[in-house]
Amino acid sequence: MSATNKTINTKSGFAFLFPGQGSQVVGMGKELYENSKAAKLVFDEIDDALNRPLSKLIFEGPESKLTQTSNAQPGIMAVSLAAYKVMEEFLGKKDMPQPSFVAGHSLGEYTALAITGSLDISSTAKLVQERGRLMQEACDLKPGTMAAIIGLDEIIIEEISRQTGTYISNVNTNHQVVISGDILAVAQALDMASARGAKRAMPLKVSGAFHSALMEPARDGLQSAVNSVNLQAPCIPIVANITAKPIDTVNQLKKELVSQICECVQWKKSIEYMITMGATNFIEFGPGKALNGMLKRIDNTVNSMSISNLNSIQGLTLK
Catalytic residue positions? 106, 211
3-state secondary structure of 129: helix
Q: Give the torsion sign (CA, 269, 15, 21, 128).
A: negative
Give 183's strand partners.
none
Among 238, 244, 274, smallest CA distance to 118 is for: 238
* Residues shown for the chain: 319
| Euclidean distance between CA atoms 242 and 17, whole angstroms | 16
Q: Which three-class secondary structure string do you get for 199-260? A: CEEEECCCCCCCCCHHHHHHHHHHHHHHHHCCCCCCCCCEECCCCCCEECCHHHHHHHHHHC
Which residues does 33 contact at the CB level (< 8 Å), separation at least 6? 39, 40, 43, 55, 59, 82
| 241 neighbors 226 (Cβ within 8 angstroms) | no
3-state secondary structure of 288: coil
